[in-house]
Amino acid sequence: MTTVQEATSNPGAPGQLTGEKVLVLDFGSQYAQLIARRVREEHVYCEIVRHNLSAARIRELAPMGIILSGGPASVYEQTAPKCDPEIFRLGIPVLGICYGMQLACEALGGQVASTPAREYGRAHCRISDPDELLSGLPTEMEVWMSHGDQVSQVSDQFRPLAATATCPIAAVRHTKLPIFGLQFHPEVTHTPEGARILGNFLKRVCGCQGLWRMGDFARQAVERIREQVGPSRVICGLSGGVDSAVVAALIYQAIGPQLSCILVDNGLLRKDEAGAVIQEFTRHFKTDLHVVKAEDQFLQALKGKTEPQQKRQIIGHAFIDCFTAEAKKIQDARFLAQGTLYPDVIESGAAADGPAATIKLHHNVGGLPAELGFELIEPLRDLFKDEVRKLGEQLGLPEEIVWRHPFPGPGLAVRCLGEITKERLDRLREADAIVVHEIKAAGLYRETAQAFAVLLPVQSVGVMGDGRTYEDVVAVRCVNTDDFMTADWSRLPYDVLARISTRIINEVKGVNRVAYDISSKPPATIEWE
């Protein structure tokens, strides 16, 4: 019997479909994934790899360009992460960003030093030599800096391209080798011309044509799934989220009736969510859908539990029990599909050439045990969330599924603070539905990245009619973000907030007060538990 296989590098990765691929060597930057996303937005496939990948391995991977990310270390420290210096001799174009620029300049004869005039935030940059990298940009532009060190001196093999008031060498290029450096961060939105700079590097320097398209990825993924699965059956767990829905739709397009889906209705889903999933995957895709009604089982396991991590563990174990029991009823199933995304692969250390550090634990479909005996299919493991949404549109999934706001794995259990009961969950479900409905009615749903209600474990005094009340408080949380690594609270119009508050208090029995969360991430998280 085969076992659930660990995620490894994908032999059919999208970069191999076009012959265009760029590698990001990760030196611990908080922006490494953002760099990769920005490159992909230029229709060039990009992968994040270890900073110490050997030049020989990089030659095997045959990238058209290499980007050295930023990082928190100082290059002159003995313990600072370094790259194989031979990569600068491969003839492959290199772009160093912040720490990456300092590393390249030091490796090729320059000096890096700490400077009292540190730059954090916006800076005014003046271009002295546009060259290929800065071609077509305005002579003066705003950039985003984040550094305490800078290149203090370069060898005569480098020439400066730009400067700021406190950083005389803000951009450089090697006179003989295709090596460039930027002290500022072009990948963040705070550098308005950043996309054009990265586009120049990819197209003018590396010679990329920008051939990668999601339609091509979908066709190739379908072919790979058919080849891998053959006549066997695949099981896919549905959660109501976009990732599992896109996985199921993609596999259905590949093998049709050979797909079986399992939806564990644990009583912790949003209002009408289970019904929407059932309708979509029985009427539209006509899949073999197994719905496990497990509300009583989950609520009984959660009874009296209030500690967030304990809730998560209980829900995870209960999910495994339900999914495993149902999976065993499906005959001839050999494969298990899951919606692993590229950030999951990178952050779990599961990529063959990816960063070695494990940022977070990675679980296959909620931690399903290997003893189930399935081979793993992860068709989205090369994609970011925004790319998954584009793929969902390509596959014909309805907008309400493709653009549904993210939902935590433990469901409403981490938005229902305190004890979990059916009564409290139903109360939260109704309040949450009102929040989403009013934001959609105002045309703001796509403008907000996440919007939801939180039921607090406190009561407040109120007056309703002629009587005094002592009832629950609901907090409303709406955030804007591009990457979910940082987020800011949404400045919703007052009239929208007023309608949300009025409707919740009038329509949700047991609630007499609504609060609006105006905390950003960091220091707060998006979810409350």
Segment 437-460, tens digit of pLDDT: 999 999 999 999 999 999 999 999
The pLDDT tens digits of the residues spanning 169-205 come to: 999 999 999 999 999 999 988 899 999 999 999 999 9
- Global confidence as pTM: 0.76
Residue type, 511: V
Q: Which residues are catalytic, by number?
A: 98, 185, 187
CATH tag, 20-205: 3.40.50.880
Q: Determine what percent of the chain is predicted with pLDDT higher than 90.
A: 62
Q: Which two tokens stand for residue 12?
A: 């059919």
CA dihedral 16, 21, 26, 31 (to 10 degrees): -110
Give the mean pLDDT of the chain.
88
CATH tag, 214-402: 3.40.50.620
In the chain, domain spans: 20-205, 214-402, 415-516
Q: Please tell me the distance from the alpha carbon of residue 448 to that of residue 154, in angstroms, as a whole number.
A: 45
Q: Please tell me the distance from the alpha carbon of residue 105 to that of residue 85, in angstroms, as a whole number.
A: 11
CATH fold match for the domains 20-205 and 214-402: yes
Strand order from edge to edge, sheet including 179-182:
45-50, 21-26, 65-68, 94-97, 179-182, 171-174, 158-164, 111-127, 140-153
Cα–Cα–Cα angle for 438, 524, 241, rounded to 5 degrees = 50
Q: Is the pLDDT of residue 466 over 90?
A: no
Give the fold, CATH level 3, of 415-516. Answer: GMP Synthetase; Chain A, domain 3 (3.30.300)
Q: Is the pLDDT of residue 116 over 70?
A: no
pLDDT, residue 119, reads 61
Helix axes 308-327, 295-302, angle to 10 degrees: 150
pLDDT, residue 118, reads 62
The pLDDT tens digits of the residues spanning 484-517 come to: 767 899 999 999 999 999 999 999 999 999 999 9
pLDDT, residue 147, reads 66
The pLDDT tens digits of the residues spanning 71-94 come to: 888 888 889 999 999 999 999 999
Q: Are the CB atoms for 210 and 198 separated by under 8 Å?
A: no
Q: Are the CB atoms for 105 and 181 separated by under 8 Å?
A: yes
Q: Is the pLDDT of residue 360 over 60?
A: no
Residues 6+ apart with CB under 8 A from 489: 477, 478, 479, 480, 517, 518, 519, 520
The candidate with the shortest Cα–Cα distance to 66, out of 41, 48, 43, 81, is 48
Q: Is the pLDDT of residue 237 over 60?
A: yes
Q: Are the CB atoms for 99 and 81 separated by under 8 Å?
A: no
Residues 6+ apart with CB under 8 A from 313: none
The pLDDT tens digits of the residues spanning 306-327 come to: 999 999 999 989 998 999 999 9
